[in-house]
Amino acid sequence: MSTTTVTKSPVDAPRTAPARPAPTAEGRIGLRANLRHIGALVRRNALQIKQDPESMFDAVMMPIIFILLFVYVFGGAISGKGNNDVYVNYVTPGLMAMMGMNIAMAVGVGINDDFKKGVMDRFRTMPIARSSVLIAKIVVEVGRMLIATAILLGMGFLLGLEIHTSFLHLLAAIGLSMVFGASLMWIFILLGLSLKTAQAVQGMAMLVLMPLQFGSSIFAPTTSMPGWLETFTDYNPLSNLADAARNLINGGPVAHSVWMTLGWAVVITVVTAPLAVTKFRKKT
């Protein structure tokens, strides 16, 4: 009795499906692709503002209300009655620093709200760098900050603001405010990712904002303050930014305050940006 050996031909052999390429890791996303993702997300955020114009009320109305309030409430007391135009040149550069901090607070609230609405669930399914979502938020908020600053300066000119240096110095003051404001956004993004509700983000933000704003040289010279508070204002980054913007517009020494402001911006970004991106990755 003979046995027949059946040999399978290559055609009869089971076929294996071609291996699918592994998803691209975030770290392997190239710079060009990352910039393209950021651009798309910036457009998405800008379209959101277009569909909800009320979200621009703070950037449009806040500088008008603040400069009118402080000039006509505090101007006479600080500069003397009838010298409001002098106080305009003092407080307007300070309010440029304040605008950045108040606009930055909105980023943390927006991030927290996006998680509640499930927007981040959609981003989780996309092959995009997690950092691009946060950077796009910052780019749009810097745009809002520019609008608020332009309105603030426009109101300042109407009330008697004068540029005693040059237009380039004014642009330098605006640019310095944008750089520092962008660094502050990382703090509020981290708060938005860490706290459970938008109300908690706003409450915590106010605890940060109030001492920094009023314990500074934004609204009044620090020479009349108690010694311990004057020491605090010397290291307060908002005081350094306000002094830098004020001297760039009105004239005066700017090197120390400019370098202090840039140093604060770098330190804040280096410390909080990696923490915010790491927290965002864990949540998404």
Q: pLDDT tens across 166-221, in order?
A: 999 999 999 999 999 999 999 999 998 888 888 888 888 888 888 888 888 888 88
Query: Could you tell me what percent of the chain has a pLDDT over 90?
Result: 33
pLDDT at 257: 92
Mean pLDDT of 38-53: 83
The pLDDT of residue 249 is above 90:
yes
Query: Mean pLDDT over residues 135-162, rounded?
Result: 92
Which among 118, 126, 143 has a CA at the least distance from the CA of 43?
143
The verdict on pTM exceeding 0.75 is yes
> Each residue of 109-148: pLDDT tens digit?
888 887 777 777 677 667 677 778 888 889 999 999 999 9
Output the pLDDT for position 38. Answer: 83
Per the CB < 8 A criterion, the answer to whether 145 and 181 are in contact is yes
User: Of 61-65, 122-126, 269-273, which range is least confident?
Assistant: 122-126
The stretch 86-90 carries a mean pLDDT of 89
